[in-house]
Structure formats: C-alpha cells, structure tokens
Amino acid sequence: MIAPETARLLRKTVARFVDREVRPVANRLEEGKEFPWELFRRAADLGFFRMRYPKEKGGAGGNATLFNIMCEELARGYMSLAAITAMQCLMCTDFIFKFGTDAIRDEYFHPAMRGEKVGAFCLTEPDAGTDLASIRTIAEPDGDGYVINGLKTWITNAPVADMFTVLCLTDRKSGLKGANFFLVDRKTAGVSVSKKFDKMGTRAAVIAEVAFENARVPAANRLGEEGRGMANLMRILAEIRAMTAALSLGLARAAYDDSLRYVKERHAFGSPIGSYQLIRAKIANMATEIEASRLMLYWVTDMLDRGAKCLKEASMAKYFVSEVACRACDEATRIFGAYSYSNEYDVNRYFRDTRFLLFGGGTSEILQDIIGRELGL
C-alpha cells in the first residue's frame, strides 16, 4: 500500500520541478526540436524512470497511481518531456525488464533507469497503425537467433535511441498469433534510422522511421515466450491507456490554469473578460471536465493497483480525457485571442500538443469501437 502522503509529496515535488526547471524552457526546447538531454538526465537523477519497477530489482517500488501523478504533473509542464519520460518508464523498458535475461537487464534496463540509455518501442508500420494485425516485419528463426526484416514508423525517440523493443511476426502465416517482441540494439548491423520527422507538436520528443535489413539478434533477445507477444502487450495496454489519459489531464490543467489567470487580467469593454458569461462558461466547462477526468483516471489507476481487470475503464479514460484536453486547449486558444496564435505563448504549444494525444494509446474512433465491443455489441 502506498500512503496518500507519499502521493502528495510526489505531486508536490514533480510540480516544483516542472515549475522551476521545465516550464521556463519548454517553448525554447520545442523550437529547437532536439531531444531534451538535460531534462532527460534530470528526470533520471530524480529517479523518475524507476517508478513502476519493484525496489528489489532496481526500481522505486511505486504503483500505477504514483506513476500517473508523475505523468500528469510533467505533462502540465511540457508534453515532449512527459511523453519521453512515460515511455522510458513503461513501453521502452517493460519488456526488457520482464523478459530479459540478467545479462540483458544489466546491459539495457539498468542503464535506462540511470538515463544512460534511451529506449524506443516499435509497433507502427507504414501500412499498420490502428490495424496492428497488418504488420509485416518478420523475425525468422535462423540458427541460434533470429533475422529481422521490416520497417517501423512514427517511432518516438528513434533518432536518439540505443535500443528498440520491436513487434515482429515470427511466421507470416499465423499473423499476430505468431507475434513476438524482440530487443534490437541500435548498433546491430542492418539497423538504420531515418532523419527525424518535422511535426506539428511534441517536437522535442523526436520521431523517425527504423528499418531492419537482415538484422540478426540472439535468441535471448526474444522478449517473452514464443507467440505471446500480443498477450504480453495486452498485459500493459490498460496501463498505456491510463498513462495517455494522465498526459491529457496534465495538459488540460495547464490550459485551464493559464486561461483562468488570463480572464482575470485581460480587460475588454471596461471589465475583465472573465466577467462575461460566455467566457465564464468556457472556464466552468473546462473545470468541470477536468474534475471528471481526474475522477475517472484515478479510479482506473486504483483498479490497476488492486490488480482488477480494467481495459474497458482505461479505454474510456483515455478516450474521454484526451478529448477533454483537446476541448480545453481549443477553448484556451479562443480565450487568448490573437495571442494564442503567437508561438511565444504557452497555449499555442498546448494546442499543438493535444493532437498527439488523439493517436497515441489508440485513436478515439477505435477506442469507441472497443468500448462498444466490451459492452457486448
């Protein structure tokens, strides 16, 4: 059991880090479009990457609630950093930690916890986004290892990553039933990374394509039992969706905080704009939806911490809160008027960053479909 006091102290500490060290540099880093090494190392020093892992094994012994509080507060500061941190904590290291040998953990997991190695997680392909079953990347058994061929795209951290956790088929005929995750070191012959994508938001969370051309990996680099790739992905899917909801909540709060301040300061027709009903309604709706989001998210993290099955609830939370973030950031840009159109204002960055939340962790459309299916349709 984690004490509420620990959660409070964590939130306060991350908030302080964000307000002092992250928010003041966020717009500059976003303009630079480079991986934020300094903040990444600070996050490592503060122990953030260890959050989800047990203490006996080099982790901090946190739980889903603490992890999501951290993600939320980081996202309130700067989405690029929040996304990178969340991935380093979860998708980029989870399979290596759970299924890697001791030697693999020593070489990849522990350095990742210390911020010395950066991970990346590769599912998406040019012809397989939402429809993961269409992936083509293949890992063919060959002697005492596997040979990987294929192309992964939209891979966060790829330009700077030291290792990739890659979803591959081991046999094309059985489709996802023959899917496995493989650990691939960037230095492996046959691995190449494209130049980084130029994109709308989360620009410091750099993205590229990763190509595998006869890339040979040892058998021990198959992470998990043969054919259990998708089952193992399902195991952390609820966590991934909760995390994306936490990022969304943080961003919605940032948009709300800035808006609330602005409507008190900005005058029009002789009064602060916050005195006008239409503006008040915007603020009231933001606050209400944020409150609902908070309840929903931390209800899900509580289920995760109790070990309850909660994929439906996590999907609902991701869907709902990411849409709340989009609405909040949209309203914030209206409230700030022309100033939101200037790149110098934080709300401009929030608005751009919301779009990322719509796709990572499952699109709204597919989540609605999944929720419907869970409801027996």
Partner 1 sequence: MKIIVCVKRVPDTETRIRIAAGGKGIDNSEANFVLNPYDEYAVEEAIRIKEKTQAEVAVLSYGPEEATKEIRTAIAMGADKGILIKDPKALVRDAGAVASVLAAALKGMQFDLLFFGKQAIDSDEASVGPMTAQLLKLPCISFINKLEIGNGTVTAQRDVEGGKEVVASPMPVALTAQKGLNEPRLPALKGIMRAKKIPIEELAPAQVKDRVEVISLELPPQRKGGKVVGEGKDAAVPLAKLLKTEARVI
Ligand X SMILES: Cc1cc2nc3c(=O)[nH]c(=O)nc-3n(C[C@H](O)[C@H](O)[C@H](O)COP(=O)(O)OP(=O)(O)OC[C@H]3O[C@@H](n4cnc5c(N)ncnc54)[C@H](O)[C@@H]3O)c2cc1C
The first and second tokens of residue 195, run together, are 């130049």
**By CB under 6 A, what part of segment 319-358 binds ligand X?**
356
Size of the site for ligand X (CB under 6 A): 19
Nearer to ligand X, 160 or 303 (CB): 160
Residue 252 interacts, among partner 1, ligand X, none and using kind-specific CB cut-offs from 5 to 8 Å, with: none
Residue 243 binding ligand X, by CB under 6 A: no
**By CB under 6 A, what part of segment 134-163 binds ligand X?**
154-156
**By CB under 6 A, what part of segment 106-125 binds ligand X?**
121-124
Convert residues 105-124 into a mask of x (bound to partner 1 by CB under 8 A) and - (unbound).
--------------------
Burial 61-85 (b: 16+ CB within 10 A, else e): ebbbbbbbbbbbbbbbbbbbbbbbb
Residue 366 binding ligand X, by CB under 6 A: yes
Q: Are strands 271-272 and 267-268 parallel, antiparallel or unpaired?
A: antiparallel
Report the candidate in 78, 80, 90 with the shortest Cα–Cα distance to residue 119: 90
Report the candidate in 89, 360, 99 with the shortest Cα–Cα distance to residue 228: 99
As a whole number of angstroms, the distance between CA 324 and CA 251 comes to 10
Q: At closest approach, how far in Å is the CB of 157 from ligand X?
A: 7
As a whole number of angstroms, the distance between CA 11 and CA 69 comes to 6
As a whole number of angstroms, the distance between CA 251 and CA 286 comes to 12
As a whole number of angstroms, the distance between CA 251 and CA 233 comes to 26
Q: At closest approach, how far in Å is the CB of 254 from ligand X?
A: 18
Nearer to ligand X, 134 or 343 (CB): 134
Residue 6 binding ligand X, by CB under 6 A: no
Residue 356 interacts, among ligand X, partner 1, none and using kind-specific CB cut-offs from 5 to 8 Å, with: ligand X
Handedness of CA 172, 178, 184, 188 (dihedral sign): negative
As a whole number of angstroms, the distance between CA 58 and CA 61 comes to 9
Q: At closest approach, how far in Å is the CB of 289 from ligand X?
A: 22
Convert residues 42-81 into a mask of x (bound to partner 1 by CB under 8 A) and - (unbound).
---xxxx-xx---x----xxx-------------------
Convert residues 210-239 into a mask of x (bound to ligand X by CB under 6 A) and - (unbound).
------------------------------
Q: In the set 3, 189, 338, 375, which binds partner 1 (CB under 8 A)?
A: 3
Residue 13 binding partner 1, by CB under 8 A: yes
Q: At closest approach, how far in Å is the CB of 241 from ligand X?
A: 12
Q: What DSSP character marks residue 63?
A: -
Q: Mark out the alpha helices in the chain (DSSP H runs).
A: 4-17, 23-32, 37-45, 64-77, 79-89, 91-99, 102-104, 110-113, 229-265, 277-306, 311-335, 346-359, 364-374
Residue 19 interacts, among ligand X, partner 1, none and using kind-specific CB cut-offs from 5 to 8 Å, with: none
Residue 8 binding partner 1, by CB under 8 A: yes
As a whole number of angstroms, the distance between CA 90 and CA 109 comes to 11
Report the candidate in 202, 209, 223, 231 with the shortest Cα–Cα distance to residue 93: 223
Cβ-proximal residue to ligand X, closest one = 129
Residue corresponding to tokens 């059991």 = 1
Residue 10 binding partner 1, by CB under 8 A: yes
Name the residues that contact ligand X, by CB under 6 A.
121-124, 129-131, 154-156, 202, 207, 356, 359-360, 363, 365-366, 369
Residue ranges binding partner 1 (CB under 8 A): 3, 5-6, 8-10, 12-13, 16-17, 45-48, 50-51, 55, 60-62
